[in-house]
């Protein structure tokens, strides 16, 4: 049993640091904790604590990786323009405030900003709708398809009445 524990202590750190190992650090940490639990049941506290320390290091590595990934997404979002809806609302609020102050130049400027933002918002909504509809959706708009189906239904009803 001691040979197995020594073998695990020598091999596991090497395996955990092997670059070809594609497993998640959290999975490795869970596995080490399970092995440490078994060693504790067998009364080998020192070796179990070493495995637990290795598991803690792996968990720290996993946390560091997730914070790096979150930081990258935040950097990407910072470079983007503000959402058109928010920009339109801000411009409209500024336009209202300048109207209250009877400042026509600022009102015109904010109205132009709001117009541009509302146009951008309309394009964003159209793009989102197109993305949601997917490539399988027919080319014609939904209302035209509904009207066409209603006409077909009316014609079928008329044909059924005439066949009697």
Whether the per-residue pLDDT at 7 is higher than 70: the answer is no
Q: How far apart are CA 22 and CA 59, in angstroms?
A: 16
Average pLDDT over all residues of the chain: 80
Domain ranges of the chain: 2-78, 81-134
Whole-number Å distance between alpha carbons of 32 and 57: 11
Q: Which residues contact 79 (CB under 8 A, 6 or more apart)?
A: none
Taking only the tens place, the pLDDT of each residue in 30-88 is 898 888 888 888 888 888 888 888 888 888 888 888 887 777 766 666 555 668 888 88
């Amino acid at each position: 049993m001691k040979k197995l524990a020594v073998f695990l202590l020598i091999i596991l750190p090497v395996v955990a640091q092997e670059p070809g190992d594609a497993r998640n650090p959290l999975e490795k940490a869970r596995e080490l904790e399970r092995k440490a639990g078994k060693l504790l049941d067998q009364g080998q506290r020192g070796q179990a604590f070493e495995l637990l320390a290795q598991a803690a290091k792996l968990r720290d590595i996993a946390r560091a990786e997730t914070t790096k990934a979150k930081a990258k997404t935040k950097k990407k979002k910072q470079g983007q323009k503000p959402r058109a809806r928010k920009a339109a609302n801000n411009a409209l609020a500024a336009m209202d405030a300048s109207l209250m102050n009877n400042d026509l130049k600022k009102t015109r400027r904010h109205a132009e900003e709001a117009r541009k933002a509302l146009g951008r918002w309309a394009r964003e909504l159209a793009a989102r709708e197109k993305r949601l509809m997917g490539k399988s959706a027919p080319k014609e708009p939904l209302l035209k398809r509904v009207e066409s189906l209603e006409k077909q239904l009316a014609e079928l009803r008329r044909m059924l009445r005439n066949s009697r």
